[in-house]
Chains A and B, each alone.
Chain A
Amino acid sequence: MSQAELAIESVAEAHSTGAHGAGVMEESPFAIPSSKLVMWLFIISDACTFGAMLFAYGYLRNSAADWPQVFERASIWNSLLMTFILVSTSLTILFAVKAAQSEDRAGAFRWTMITAAGGILFILLHIREWLSLIGQGARLFQNPWGAPMFGAAFFSITGLHMAHVVGGVIALTVVGLSYRAGRYAARHIEIWALYWHFVDLVWMFVVPLVYLLNMKR
């Protein structure tokens, strides 16, 4: 048997015994499991996507002389309430991770579901905001206030963010149920907690740039 065949066999053996190539493969330079690294890579690529959307919005806003400033104080307070809910769910998902790492399956499930419920509340408040703007005449490419691209910019940025929240709620529910049933490990909750924090982080830029800059004065 050649040296290469021996190496392949020993790697396969290490994998089959659950040793993950210990002693054969080089240690990960990041000291995290590949699934967590993949989530980090997804997060930075998604950060660039949101960055591109916010820059495109800035481009449109900057080049339009009559960019609408439509958000009443009620909308601003609503966005602050949504911030409070989203940041609070970042705390509750940390409780879920802590419980999962202590092998407290019931506690981890409970905190994960509380986080998902917070996400649903956020979505409902966001839909209320959308309906209010639509009721005032805002559409994707027209509105009664000024630059016609306002609707496209607002609905695409907040819509993409809301899609992430919806995805997060579904993922957390699946992971929470599977963790309670013993099919998933604590690291799965930790990895999806990273995603949830990222959704929270994006909102921290959406509120000042989209809501506060377009506040009615």
Chain B
Amino acid sequence: MSQTSASGNMTSTYFVYGAILLIAIVQVIAAMAMGPSLWRMLLLAIIQAYLAVMFFMHLRDEKPTLRLALIPGTLFVLVMMNMIWADSFRLAVMKPFAK
């Protein structure tokens, strides 16, 4: 087992904890001040998720083979789910009662 997870330096963990909270606050304040932008909020959420997976879940300390086995496949499935958007726009624009 990779025991690097908790025996490493906790400084980076505190930094990541602060960064994730700061991003959450920025998300809320930006949404209130400028209105919620899907892409901005999604980008910030992806940064938060990256920090959590790499530092809290210590995936960066594991062997590269594990990262290779987990990340590309998951991202592929999530990216392929984007196929639904065409149909949701069809409903919004082309449905019989659409104006």
A59 touches B87 (CB 8 A): yes
Interface residues of A: mostly helix, strand, loop or mixed? helix
Kindly state the separation between the CA atoms of A205 and B74 in the bound complex, as whole angstroms: 16
B81 touches A51 (CB 8 A): yes
A52 touches B81 (CB 8 A): yes
Q: Is A73 an interface residue (CB 8 A)?
A: yes
Q: Is B73 an interface residue (CB 8 A)?
A: yes
Q: Is A209 an interface residue (CB 8 A)?
A: yes
In chain A, residues 71-86, which have Cβ atoms closer than 8 Å to a Cβ of chain B? 73, 76-77, 79-80, 83-84
Question: Min CB distance, B35 to chain A, in Å?
Answer: 7
Which residue from chain A places its CB closest to the CB of B3 in the assembled complex? A101
Chain A: residues with Cβ within 8 Å of the partner, total of 54
User: What is the 8 Å Cβ interface bit string for chain A, positions 114-141, against chain B (1 contact, 0 not)?
Assistant: 0000000000000000000000000000
Chain B: residues with Cβ within 8 Å of the partner, total of 50
17 pairs of residues in contact across A and B, judged by CB atoms under 8 Å: A33-B1, A48-B74, A48-B78, A59-B84, A64-B92, A76-B32, A80-B24, A94-B13, A94-B56, A98-B7, A101-B3, A190-B5, A201-B48, A204-B24, A207-B24, A213-B38, A215-B36
Question: Min CB distance, B1 to chain A, in Å?
Answer: 5
Q: Which A residues touch B28, using CB under 8 A? A: 76-77, 79-80, 212
Question: Min CB distance, A155 to chain B, in Å?
Answer: 20
Q: Which B residues touch A58, using CB under 8 A? A: 84-85, 88
> Given the interface contacts A30-B66, A31-B63, does A63 sit within 8 Å of B24 by beta carbon?
no
Kindly state the separation between the CA atoms of A137 and B92 in the bound complex, as whole angstroms: 26
Q: Which B residues touch A55, using CB under 8 A? A: 81-82, 84
Within 8 Å by CB of B92, from A52, A63, A83, A207, lies A63
Kindly state the separation between the CA atoms of A205 and B57 in the bound complex, as whole angstroms: 17
Q: Is A110 an interface residue (CB 8 A)?
A: no
Q: Which A residues touch B49, using CB under 8 A? A: 201, 204-205
Within 8 Å by CB of B56, from A30, A51, A200, A208, lies A200
Q: Which B residues touch A48, using CB under 8 A? A: 74, 77-78
Q: Is A180 an interface residue (CB 8 A)?
A: no
Question: Min CB distance, A104 to chain B, in Å?
Answer: 11
Q: Which B residues touch A213, using CB under 8 A? A: 36, 38, 41
